[in-house]
Amino acid sequence: MTETRRRGAELEKAIFQATREILSKDGIEQLSFATIAERAGTSKPVLYRRWRSPLELAIAAIQDQIVTENHGRLDELELTGTTLTEDLSQVLKRYIVSIDTFNQAAVITWFQHVDQPSNPEVRALLESVKAIDAHAIDRVCQRAQKRGELKAGTLPIELKLLPFDWLRYRAFTNEPITDATLKFLIDDLLVPAYYHVLG
């Protein structure tokens, strides 16, 4: 009996899974279209048609895992808080889940092997992540503005990205992110800063 050829989402899932397994078990040095194709049970031309390099595919595979484990993108999260503080807490707790995915030893090793500033694929990833993070904070602020907690206006991009950069730094330096850490970040840093700009 002939094996059914996988297409679309099923094939993409197998490719992403194979890529993550190679990164995790074998390291960045073993990541190539040949090894990915073999493990995913597909051909190299299939990969070449979709991704420019194994690195671009690895980025897509990691992003897929983050979105899957978070049940969607951070800026698509259904916010349910009744205050600015509660919405910020919901967004940042969800973000910590994505950090846990991204902070795997294999991924850190992978980033250490990449010349980040000059690599267009990594630059594109970082810009995409920044845009999603900033949009998530925009949504939080818009809800606070509708409730009358904040005045109309927009936060500077540096302030929008501050909590994500701060949490990512703590994760990458293996500092614990506890409920108390998050409370300090929100109550003592973010909310006062937001009120200062939009209060």
- Cβ atoms within 10 Å of 195's Cβ, excluding its own: 14
Q: Does 177 score more than 70 pLDDT?
A: yes
Q: Does 199 score more than 90 pLDDT?
A: no
Question: What are the pLDDT digits (tens) for 3-39?
Answer: 456 678 899 999 999 998 998 888 777 889 999 999 9
Q: What is 8-58's CATH superfamily?
A: Homeodomain-like (1.10.10.60)
Task: Give 70's Cβ-side CA count (13 Å radius).
Answer: 26
User: What sign has the CA pseudo-torsion 85, 127, 124, 167?
Assistant: negative
Question: Which tokens go with 39?
Answer: 């493990």
Enumerate the domain spans of the chain.
Answer: 8-58, 73-198
Torsion on CA atoms 47, 48, 49, 50, rounded to nearest 10:
60
Give the residue-averaged pLDDT of 174-192: 95
Whose structure tokens read 């990449």? Answer: 114
> Going by C-beta distance under 8 Å and a sequence separation of 6 or more, which residues neighbour residue 138?
154, 155, 160
The radius of gyration of the chain from alpha carbons, rounded to an integer in Å, stands at: 20
Question: What are the pLDDT digits (tens) for 76-87?
Answer: 999 999 999 999
Most confident option among 60-64, 72-76, 156-160: 156-160
Binning pLDDT at 50, 70 and 90, where does residue 102 land?
A: low
Look at 123 and 60; give whichever has higher pLDDT.
Answer: 60
CATH 1.10.3470 fits 73-198, yes or no: no
Q: Does 123 score more than 80 pLDDT?
A: no
Return the pLDDT at 69.
75
User: What sign has the CA pseudo-torsion 8, 9, 14, 17?
Assistant: positive
Exposure string of 132-170, with b = 16+ CB inside 10 Å and e = fewer, is bbbebbebbbebbeeeebbeeeebeeebbbbbbebbbeb
Return the pLDDT at 2.
39
Return the pLDDT at 30.
83
